[in-house]
């Protein structure tokens, strides 16, 4: 019996795009050719053999997931000091902008992403903890779930409490965790990547104003756009 090593699996998937199936090559594997590219940072832990094996297993299972049933959960942050990083100024002159340095507050934004749009949004003053996430799942998220849904989130410790599992199971849904160090498998990251520049443009300086802005901006994410967020993460809507 042939022993399948991590190196052999990487080589096989790198040549064919997918072991035994016709799929695109996983984006986290080395490119087959070397040419000039803009550098994109990633977690070096992805190169560990144990992490790579779990990422490959997730990649291979993606075609079996029904995108209509998937609900991706994650958190991001915003603050009352957020501002645009670029602007226009006369050539040779430094562009200056005033932002709070001493008195500003951070907000956590938690939400889910379905093909149909952003669901179960919640804003929280300060960072999230276990108690807050338990309350989010029990009081907000479960009301957006349908029997047969699959809730997917990362391996943050606050996501793994018994209360979270119990609430999701009681709603008739299933809970799955992404491989470690794998935000590229979570399409809501693409939604957050669009949200952040919009928040920088708004540059709200009060918590209430920031929360209202987040609420108004998520209404701009159309079902068609949310479906497009799925494809780069490896989930292909019909």
Rounded to two decimals, the pTM is: 0.79
User: Roughly what angle, to the nearest 10 degrees, separates helices 188-202 and 223-230?
Assistant: 130
What is the DSSP code string of 110-138?
A: EEEEETTEEEEEEEEES---HHHHHHHHH
pLDDT in tens, 197-221: 888 887 778 889 888 999 999 988 9
Nearest to 14 by CA among 44, 80, 59, 74: 59
Task: Please name each of the domains of the chain with its CATH number.
Answer: 67-88+100-233 (3.30.420.10)
* Separation of alpha carbons 201 and 191, rounded Å: 16
Q: What is the mean pLDDT of residues 71-94?
A: 80
Whether 108 and 77 have beta carbons less than 8 Å apart is answered as yes
Residue 72 phi/psi, 5-degree rounding, is -95, 130
Q: What is the mean pLDDT of residues 37-44?
A: 79
pLDDT over 70 at 9, yes or no? no
Q: What is the dihedral of CA 17, 20, 23, 27, to 10 degrees?
A: -40
CB atoms within 10 A of CB 107: 21
Tokens at residue 195, please? Answer: 């949200």
Tokens at residue 152, please? Answer: 């997917």
pLDDT in tens, 153-191: 999 999 999 999 999 999 999 999 999 999 999 999 999
Q: What is the mean pLDDT of the chain?
A: 85
* Separation of alpha carbons 233 and 185, rounded Å: 5
Q: % helix / strand / coil in the chain, to the nearest 5? A: 45, 15, 40
């Amino acid at each position: 019996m042939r022993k399948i090593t991590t190196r052999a699996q990487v080589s096989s998937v790198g040549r064919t795009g997918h072991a035994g199936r016709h799929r695109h090559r996983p984006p986290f594997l080395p490119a087959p050719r070397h040419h000039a590219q803009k550098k994109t940072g990633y977690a070096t832990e992805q190169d560990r053999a144990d992490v790579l094996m779990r990422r490959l297993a997730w990649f291979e299972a993606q075609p079996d997931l029904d995108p209509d049933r998937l609900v991706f959960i994650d958190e991001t942050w915003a603050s009352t000091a957020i501002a645009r990083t670029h602007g226009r100024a006369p050539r040779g002159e430094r562009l200056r902008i005033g932002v709070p340095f001493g008195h500003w507050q951070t907000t956590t934004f938690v939400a889910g992403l379905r093909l149909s749009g952003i669901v179960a949004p919640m804003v929280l003053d300060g960072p999230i903890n276990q108690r807050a996430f338990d309350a989010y799942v029990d009081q907000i998220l479960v009301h957006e779930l349908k029997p047969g849904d699959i809730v997917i989130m990362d391996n943050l410790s606050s996501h793994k409490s018994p209360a979270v599992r119990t609430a999701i199971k009681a709603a008739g849904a299933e809970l799955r965790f992404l491989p470690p160090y794998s935000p590229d498998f979570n399409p809501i990251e693409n939604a957050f990547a669009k949200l952040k520049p919009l928040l920088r443009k708004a540059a709200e300086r009060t918590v209430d104003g920031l929360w209202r802005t987040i609420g108004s901006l998520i209404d701009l994410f159309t079902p068609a756009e949310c479906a497009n967020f799925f494809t780069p993460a490896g989930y292909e809507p019909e």
